[in-house]
């Protein structure tokens, strides 16, 4: 970071603290409001005292004149009653590493999202590539995941060890290799470690994969699926991470040509006529 960048960085942090100090009323933290108070929100000396730091130091911090420790920023964040998002932003402004927020995936919201893609096959995956939900369009191009035992309902495992899935994706190994590299970006996930160990035993012919330590975020690629009714469907496959669900990823295939679009639209329309929303709806592990 250059001198100018560091200067801008400090001033942005100071402005953020000042804005939140002015938003917090004295009574919010148990202080009386004086009729003679002219300062909007809290005074600097009040924030400093409640955070256990000197008034001069806190003043310099708001003025962008000093760096500070994470411990001090944590104390100031508590004083200013910062919510989780503001707290995270404060630490990031100061240059501290902040782990990705985690929590339960909003499965219903993601299920509704992929359900709205009638011609784009999609899967909702957890960090270890286990399938959480899938849409009807996925069942058009591949076997229904509901027919796979729950303990084996993992995208990597299905691509590398399930004969039916391998038959539906001629380039299954190339796709799987990209997913293996992506999975290593979450190497500390217990289930991911378990899946990797199972695949080492199931596919010893891929020993070079397991010995390699290459790490890479999954890059979009064009994937052809097994020909159906005289059509060879082709999709641009991407792996998306919803901002509201950082522990989830959505693997989606977008048709890349008119032939594929027509085929998928025809299948969706035909089956909708026989089964309505129940046929077009998403299947998930909860069913």
Same domain? 21 vs 133: no
Domain's final residue, options 39, 65, 93: 93
Same domain? 37 vs 77: yes
pTM: 0.61
SS (H, E, C) 106-132: CHHHHHHHHHCCCCCCEEEECCCCEEE
Same domain? 125 vs 190: yes
Span 204-215, average pLDDT: 80
Same domain? 125 vs 260: yes
Same domain? 132 vs 268: yes
Predicted pLDDT at 269: 66
Beta partners for residue 234, in sequence order: 224
Same domain? 57 vs 123: no
Give 136-190 pLDDT, tens digit per residue: 999 999 999 999 888 889 999 999 999 999 999 998 988 998 888 887 776 566 7
Residue 112 located in a structural domain: yes
CB contact set of 2 (below 8 Å; sequence gap of 6+) = none
pLDDT bracket for residue 264 (50, 70, 90): very high
Predicted pLDDT at 196: 82
Domain's final residue, options 34, 69, 93: 93
Same domain? 88 vs 138: no
Predicted pLDDT at 144: 94
Give 247-260 pLDDT, tens digit per residue: 788 999 999 999 99
Residue 102 located in a structural domain: no
Domain with 53 in it: what CATH number? 1.10.260.40
Short-list 220, 111, 115, 237, CA closest to 169: 237
Q: Is 22 helix (H, G, I), strand (E, B) or coil?
A: helix
Higher pLDDT among residues 287 and 148, named by residue: 148
Same domain? 15 vs 124: no
Domain's final residue, options 71, 93, 115: 93
Residue 101 located in a structural domain: no
CB contact set of 268 (below 8 Å; sequence gap of 6+) = 118, 119, 136, 137, 140, 280
DSSP symbols for 40-90: SS--HHHHHHHHTS-HHHHHHHHTT-----HHHHHHHHHHTT--HHHHHHH
Predicted pLDDT at 123: 96
Residue 51 located in a structural domain: yes
CB distance 166 to 233 below 8 Å = no
Predicted pLDDT at 282: 44
Same domain? 181 vs 203: yes
Same domain? 84 vs 133: no
Q: Is the pLDDT of residue 273 over 60?
A: no
Number of domains present in the structure of the chain = 2
Predicted pLDDT at 283: 46
Domain with 124 in it: what CATH number? 3.30.450.180
CB distance 272 to 266 below 8 Å = no
Predicted pLDDT at 122: 96
Q: Average pLDDT over the chain, rounded to whole? A: 83
Q: Is the pLDDT of residue 117 over 90?
A: yes
Q: Is the pLDDT of residue 113 over 80?
A: yes
CB distance 223 to 232 below 8 Å = no
Residue 169 located in a structural domain: yes
Same domain? 256 vs 186: yes
Residue 17 structural domain: 3-93
Predicted pLDDT at 193: 79
Residue 120 located in a structural domain: yes
Residue 216 and residue 182: Cα distance in Å, rounded?
5
Same domain? 157 vs 275: yes
């Amino acid at each position: 970071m250059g001198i100018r960048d560091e200067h801008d960085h400090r001033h942005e942090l100071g402005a953020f603290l000042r804005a939140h100090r002015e938003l917090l009323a004295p009574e919010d933290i148990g202080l009386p409001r004086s009729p003679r108070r002219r300062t909007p929100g809290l005074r600097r000396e009040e924030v400093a005292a409640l955070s256990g730091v000197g008034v001069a130091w806190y003043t310099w911090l708001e003025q962008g004149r000093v760096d500070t420790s994470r411990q001090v920023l944590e104390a100031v964040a508590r004083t200013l009653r910062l919510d989780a998002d503001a707290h995270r932003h404060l630490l990031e402004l100061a240059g501290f590493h902040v782990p990705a927020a985690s929590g339960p995936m909003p499965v219903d919201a993601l299920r509704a999202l992929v359900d709205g893609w009638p011609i784009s096959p999609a899967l909702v995956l957890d960090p270890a590539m286990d399938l959480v939900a899938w849409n009807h369009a996925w069942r058009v191009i591949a076997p229904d995941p509901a027919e796979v035992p729950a303990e084996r309902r993992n995208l990597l495992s299905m691509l590398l060890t399930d004969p039916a899935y391998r038959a539906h994706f001629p380039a299954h190994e190339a796709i799987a290799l990209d997913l293996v590299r992506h999975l290593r970006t979450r190497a500390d996930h217990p289930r991911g470690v378990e899946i990797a160990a199972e695949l080492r035993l199931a596919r010893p012919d891929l020993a070079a994969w397991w010995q390699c330590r290459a790490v890479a975020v999954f890059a979009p690629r064009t994937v052809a699926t097994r020909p159906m009714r005289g059509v060879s469907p082709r999709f641009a496959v991407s792996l998306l991470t919803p901002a509201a669900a950082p522990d989830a990823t959505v693997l989606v295939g977008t048709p890349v040509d008119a032939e594929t679009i027509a085929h998928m639209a025809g299948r969706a329309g035909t089956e909708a006529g026989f089964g309505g929303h129940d046929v077009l709806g998403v299947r998930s592990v909860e069913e």
